[in-house]
Every structure is written in structure tokens, then in C-alpha cells.
Amino acid sequence: MANSLDLLNRLEQLNVIGVALSAERNNDRLLEMILLGAKEITNADGGTLYTVTDDQHLKFEIMRTDSLGIAMGGTTGKIIPFPPLPLHAADGKPNNNMVAAYAALNSETVNIEDAYEVKGFDFSGTKKFDLSTGYHSKSFLTIPMKSHENDIIGVLQLLNAKDPRTGGIVPFSPENQRLVESLASQAAVALTNHNLISGLKRLFESFIEIIANAVDEKSPYTGGHCRRVPDIAMMLAHAANRETEGVFKSFVLSEEELDELRIAAWLHDCGKVTTPEYVVDKATKLEAIFDRIKLVDQRFELLKAQAEIDMLRRRLQQPDATAEAAWLEYCQTLDADREFLRVANVGGEFMSEQHQARVRQIAAYQLRDETGRLVPFLSENEIYNLNIARGTLTNEERNTINNHIAVTIQMLEGLPYPKNLRRVPEYAGGHHERMDGKGYPNGLTREQLSIPARMMGIADIFEALTAADRPYKKAKTLSESLFILGKMKLDNHVDPDLFDLFIRQKVYLQYAEQFLDPAQIDVVDEQKIPGYTP
């Protein structure tokens, strides 16, 4: 009766362990639970769990010997100092001398009553260990762990079963062997599922990074943007998690929720893969397939040549000593106008109405075409592009760029997400919304945006402000960037509480020290940042 109760208790232990194994997501804890569960069922003093590596070795993952106080691998943080066991010798022959390798190679459980008396296995290393520690390794139970595809993925080895009444070392009983074989089977399923999930997750995240890198590679002027925005977003999220008082004292993102935000940040511009390169890469106002300023340069030379011809013809008809001087003065005017258009073509953060008027005046010059007909010096399209007030994009091109966020949302909403990633489209699609509802694409207000989505907005803007790779502006310093960001807070563009957190916890400085050129990291007087509330 006592033996039956003991067996029932161990079966119940096996069920409890099996349930726990299926729920565990941490690989180290999972491996640890397998070994500790097997030790508990069999009352073993020690044990080792190996996993099979891609290069056909048995890697030490977990080691425990209670009587010696040995606990290595797993969650202990202590590295196991022993090299992996080869499954094959250098000549390719199977390594059947080592019991763990034999169990893996032959897919066979090995139950040894006494390692000092058994034949056919090399226990010299074990005996050497015993000699140095005073330990006596006697009974061994070595069980291969098979995946659902019948591949050996690991080996579970138990050492020195103890009699629960006397504490003496005894062999592993057939009942215990069957229980541990059952546990090993359940553990293999759990471990295989964990590896499959981890592999799929790595594949998914690698695919995400490939998309982000592809977006960055489309433009040499925004390269790295998709890689840097996640860093700022995560820094801000961790800062919010650290808050113990104030607005964010009850705000906490779990590890899964942080992963969700990080993935959204990586994908926030994925829609740009559909944006035409000539728009993404438009470094100057007249750039299309090539920079049309070169055509304008040629027209200036043509204007000079045609004016010179006219001047020479007049001199032939009626000598005029002042004609050449007038022509030279005209050429100087043209050179000044050409230099003006070259500067205007580069773009900037503001173009005055006076400069725009000068573009139209230059456009009024007239050239003779190949038929002798007078034509305008600049086309309407060239005038329109050269008079872009900010940057290098026309309104239509900016709309094309802005449309990337709608495409991003469309792309992301088309993916079948697991439950823990269902908010990726929301977070990624909210980085161009404003707190006052004047953003795009959906005109959402602060109340309609989640906190992580608002974090994305600040991360995207701050990266753009501090970026040193934009063709139409020089890299801004920290103080300049924070001044502009502060103005955006006052303008209801960014979330005020997150902005204050961004300054208060010096997230801006943490990012700057990792990613900005030292010349950009100037002294920041936080009291002078517009709108900042300490």
C-alpha cells in the first residue's frame, strides 16, 4: 500500500511538472525545471542536462549536485566550465564510450547501477572528479530526449538515487526509469515548442529588421532612421516604467508590451518601401532623375551667348563703344542670378517671399529656342519647385511621402498577429498624429492615442531633429533640437507629459551619448526649454 501511495505521489509530481513545463516561456527556467523535476521524482542527488548542438556535440546546460553544493547553468548565472561532449570522434566514428553520447546516438536509455563496475563505458573523468572531491558517483540514469520528429534534442542524466528512508545510494528503479522517460518525453515536447517559438520569433524579428533596413537603404539621406527611432522609443518607455510618482506612477509596460512597442518602432516607416525613390532621395528642389539645376546652368550660358551675338550684330550695324560694357554687366547679373538659383535649389527651413519673387523675375528672362522663337527661361514646374518654402519637396511630393503612413497601417493591419502583438499597427501608425487632432492620417487627438503611440511621435521627431544626414539642413545641437521640440509641445504637437518625462529623466542625453556626434552635444539649460515643466 505504501509503495502504491508513493507511486501515486510521484505520478502527481509528474503531472504538476508537465503542466508547469507547458507554461514556461524562459528557456533557462525551462531547462532547469526539467532537471529539477527529474531529480525530485527519483530523489537523485545530482544530475546534468545536455542539449544537442548543430555541430553534433552535447552542450552542458544545467548541473546540480546537492551534497556538494554544485549549482551551475540555467538561472544561476554560473557558467559550466566543461567543454561540450562530442558525439563523434575525429575520424567520424560514434562516441559510444561516453554514456551520455551513447544514449543520444542510440536513442536508448542507459540505467547503470554502479559506474565503478560497469563495462563498456569510460567513466575515467567521473572517477577523477570523485578523487578530487571525495564524492562517490555510483548509480546513473541517462535518458535521451526526442522531439516530435524523433530527433534527439538533448540528454537528461541523473546521478545517485537516494533511498528516502536511509539516504543511502541505490540504483534507479524500473518504475522511476519509466517516470523519468515520461518526463523526458514531455520535456522534449516543451523544449521543442519553445525552440520553435523562439525560432519563429527570431525569424519574424529578422524579417522586420530587413524591412527597416530596406527602407533606410532607399535613401542615403535617411539611412539609420528606422534603426534609431526604436532606440529612442524604448528609452522613453523604460523611463516611464521607472516613474514612481506623478502621471506615470501607475503606468507599466511588461516585457511583452515592450517587445510590442519595439517591433512597432522598427516597422513605423515600412510603408516607405512603396514611396518612389525620386521623392525619398530628393536632395534638391530641382532633382528628378537628375538635378535639373545643370540644365539651368546651361541656359545661363546660352543667355550669355545669345546676348553676345546680339551685341556683336549691333556693333556691326552701328559701332557702339558702350555695347560690350553693357553685355559684360549683363553677364555679371546672370552669374549672380545663377548663384542665387544654385543656393535656392539646395532648400532650407525657410524661403522668404522676396527670394521667391526673385525666382519669378529670373524666370522672366527669354531664350530663343531652336526655331528662333522666344521661350521663358524657367518652366512653370521649375518655378514651382524652386519656390518651395521649406525643404526640397513640393506639396504633392510631401503628400506622397506622407502617404507612407497610410500604406504602413494598411500593410501592418493585413498581418495575422498573435495576441501579444495586436497593437503593432496602432503604435506604428500613430507617429504622425498630433495631440490637437491636426496630424495625419486619421486626425486622432491625444485622448484617442495610447501612451505608446504618443511615445512613437516624440521618438520620430527627435530623431529627425538631431539627424546629421539630411541634405537640406545642418545637424542640430541638443539645445536647438530640444528648443524646437518644446515649441511643438506648446503647439499641442507632442504629448506634454511624455515631453516633460523625456527632459526630466534626460532621455535626450542618453540617446545623444550613444548616437550623436560629440559636436552636437552642447550644454542644455533645461530651464530655457520652452514649455518644460520640471
Q: Quick: pLDDT tens for 20-30.
A: 555 556 677 77
Express each pLDDT in 125-166 by its tens digit: 899 999 999 999 999 999 998 887 788 988 999 999 999 889
Closest CA to 342 of 279, 282, 280, 284: 284
Band (121; pLDDT cuts 50, 70, 90): very high
Q: Are strands 85-86 and 57-65 parallel, antiparallel or unpaired?
A: antiparallel
As separate numbers, helices (DSSP H) first and strands (DSSP E) second, the chain gives 18, 10
Q: Is the pLDDT of residue 5 over 70?
A: no
Q: How far apart are CA 266 and CA 427, in angstroms?
A: 11
Residues counted in the chain = 534
Q: What is the DSSP string of 151-202?
A: -EEEEEEEEEEE-TTT--EEPPPHHHHHHHHHHHHHHHHHHHHHHHHHHHHH
Q: What's the pLDDT score for residue 324?
A: 83
Burial of 244 (0-12, 13-18, 19+ CB in 10 A): exposed
Q: Would you give the distance in Å from CA 480 to the centre of its chain?
A: 27
- Residue 436, classed as helix, strand or coil, is strand
Q: Between 44 and 17, where is the model more confident?
A: 44
- Residue 329, classed as helix, strand or coil, is helix
Q: Is the pLDDT of residue 218 over 60?
A: yes
Q: How far apart are CA 45 and CA 64, in angstroms?
A: 8
Domains annotated on the chain, with CATH = 2-197 (3.30.450.40), 219-279+416-528 (1.10.3210.10), 293-392 (no CATH)
C-alpha cell at 206: 529578422
Mean pLDDT of 247-252: 94
Q: What's the pLDDT score for residue 492?
A: 96
Q: What's the pLDDT score for residue 471?
A: 59
Q: What's the pLDDT score for residue 57?
A: 95
* pTM for the full predicted model: 0.66
Express each pLDDT in 76-93 by its tens digit: 989 999 999 999 988 889
Q: What's the pLDDT score for residue 465?
A: 92
* Among 199-203, 222-226, 419-423, the least confident range: 222-226
Say if residues 76 and 56 touch (Cβ distance below 8 Å). no
Say if residues 215 and 230 touch (Cβ distance below 8 Å). no
Express each pLDDT in 375-406 by its tens digit: 999 999 999 999 998 888 888 888 887 788 88
Question: Can you name the residues that pair with 51 across neighbouring β-strands?
Answer: 59, 154
Q: What's the pLDDT score for residue 191?
A: 77
Q: Are strands 85-86 and 374-376 parallel, antiparallel or unpaired?
A: unpaired
Say if residues 467 and 461 touch (Cβ distance below 8 Å). no
Q: What's the pLDDT score for residue 21?
A: 58
Express each pLDDT in 92-104 by its tens digit: 899 999 999 999 9
Band (472; pLDDT cuts 50, 70, 90): low
Q: What's the pLDDT score for residue 2?
A: 40
DSSP H or E segment with residue 381: helix 380-386
Q: At which residue does the C-alpha cell 543520444 appear?
A: 104
Q: What's the pLDDT score for residue 312?
A: 86
Q: What's the pLDDT score for residue 24?
A: 54
Q: What contacts 196, CB < 8 A, 6 or more positions away?
A: none
List helix spans (H) across 54-169: 99-106, 124-133
DSSP E strands: which ranges in 23-146? Answer: 44-52, 57-65, 70-73, 85-86, 110-112, 140-146
Mean pLDDT of 57-69: 94
Say if residues 533 and 490 touch (Cβ distance below 8 Å). no
Neighbour tally for 88: CB within 10 Å:
14
CA torsion through residues 40, 44, 47, 50, sign: negative
Q: What's the pLDDT score for residue 3?
A: 55
Q: Is the pLDDT of residue 1 over 50?
A: no
- Residue 251, classed as helix, strand or coil, is coil
Express each pLDDT in 179-201 by its tens digit: 888 877 777 777 777 777 778 88
DSSP H or E segment with residue 368: strand 366-368
Q: What contacts 294, CB < 8 A, 6 or more positions away?
A: none
What's the mean pLDDT when you consider all of the chain? 87
List helix spans (H) across 2-87: 2-23, 27-42
Query: Residue 530 gets which letter from DSSP?
Result: T
Closest CA to 111 of 168, 156, 50, 62: 156
Q: Please, which contacts does 115-120 make with residues 24 or more away whose CB atoms are closer than 8 Å?
A: 115/139, 115/140
* Among 108-117, 281-290, 350-359, 425-434, the least confident range: 281-290
Q: Is the pLDDT of residue 446 over 80?
A: yes
Express each pLDDT in 312-347 by its tens digit: 888 777 777 778 888 889 899 999 999 999 999 988
Share of the chain above pLDDT 70, in %: 93
Say if residues 239 and 252 touch (Cβ distance below 8 Å). no
Q: Between 473 and 349, where is the model more confident?
A: 349
